[in-house]
Amino acid sequence: MKIIKKREKAKLLIGLNYLDKRTKLNDTDKRYLINLEKGFEGEERFDGLVKTHLNGEALVINDLLVENKGNTFQIDTLIVMFDTIYLYEVKNYKGDFQMNSGQLSYTSGQEITNPLIQLKRTKELLRQLLKDWGISYRIEAHVVFINDAFTLYNAKLEDPIIFPTQIKEHLTGLNAKCKNLPKQSVYLTDRLVDRHKTDSVFQKQLPPYSFEEFKTGVSCSCGSFELIITQRACYCKMCYKQMSIEELVVENINEFKFLFPDQKITTSMIDDWCGNTVNYRKIRNILQTHLVASGTNSGTYYQ
């Protein structure tokens, strides 16, 4: 098994995490952030199981976002084998659910989007894309419910669902179907990864924000502002992570750049962002090392 594309945190999730750390998110956005985080955790757990149990010849693409003829579709995990492509929609739902006439809901009654409908659409759009490319492959698509505390009543036997208790068996079962991969598989995965789009619309999906409402100060990647800073190093009182001042400032500059991509960066701006906790000249040196300086002496900014 070879991983062709690794999973990365979605930009929307990164952005919401930054906003959560430095502003106060409203309840809806906070809930959305928690759901995105749970979803990501579930996908990572599935990645771990694939790594552990799938050891035959297969190519794995994680988190693929593709647009074809005006339709965009996203695939959590795609495994290319000898003559079949396996695609998986991973759901980290927890609790008791029921399926009634194609409608998925909590047993308490609250309806949620049925991932089987999304899966059908994704499979069809992938099939069309391969047809456009003149590539013929069988496609098998499944929804994977990854959380051990997930129960679904009234599912049909023929529903393409893999339950938590079946994941290991499913993946080890794939090993038996592995044969030497034809050249076409490599060609296909390269072409799909080439086609991958980064989520460029995430900025519009974030709630509106401005510099003034942000909590300033240097913060650790765990979200804590409780740092002990000495001449050269600093450590986080929350997660005990130790890092150099340079690493810390670079991380906080990256955060600023992520949230304000169009803003020209100046030393005093980063000094404010870091809550005036780090020596001003040190910040300037770090900016000079890691970014490119432009403008005149009095109005230097960094890109």
User: Using CB under 5 A as the criterion, which residues of the chain lie in contact with Zn ion when the complex forms?
Assistant: 220, 222, 224, 236, 238-239, 241
Cβ closest to Zn ion, residue 80 vs residue 236: 236
Tell me how far, at minimum, the Cβ of 40 lies from Zn ion, in Å: 19
Cβ closest to Zn ion, residue 203 vs residue 224: 224
Tell me how far, at minimum, the Cβ of 249 lies from Zn ion, in Å: 15
Cβ closest to Zn ion, residue 172 vs residue 224: 224
Alpha-carbon 195 to chain mean position: 17
Q: In whole angstroms, how far apart are CA 264 and each of 224, 249, 293, 294?
A: 26, 17, 10, 10
- Extended beta strands in 26-92, E state: 59-68, 71-80, 84-91
Tell me how far, at minimum, the Cβ of 273 lies from Zn ion, in Å: 18
| Angular region, 86: left φ>0, alpha ψ -120 to 50, beta rest | beta
CB within 8 A of 292, min separation 6: which ones? 302, 303
Exposure string for 87-116, b = 16+ CB within 10 A, e = fewer: bbbbbbbeeebbbeeeebeeeeeeeeeebb
| Angular region, 205: left φ>0, alpha ψ -120 to 50, beta rest | alpha
Report how far apart the first and last C-alpha atoms of the chain are (Å, whole number): 40
Q: Which of 20, 174, 152, 34 is nearest to 97 (CA)?
A: 152
Cβ closest to Zn ion, residue 120 vs residue 237: 237
Tell me how far, at minimum, the Cβ of 253 lies from Zn ion, in Å: 17
Tell me how far, at minimum, the Cβ of 130 lies from Zn ion, in Å: 45
Tell me how far, at minimum, the Cβ of 274 lies from Zn ion, in Å: 16
Tell me how far, at minimum, the Cβ of 206 lies from Zn ion, in Å: 23
Cβ closest to Zn ion, residue 150 vs residue 225: 225
DSSP 61: E
Question: How many CB atoms sit inside 10 A of residue 12's CB?
Answer: 18
Question: How many CB atoms sit inside 10 A of residue 161's CB?
Answer: 19
Tell me how far, at minimum, the Cβ of 209 lies from Zn ion, in Å: 23
Cβ closest to Zn ion, residue 112 vs residue 238: 238
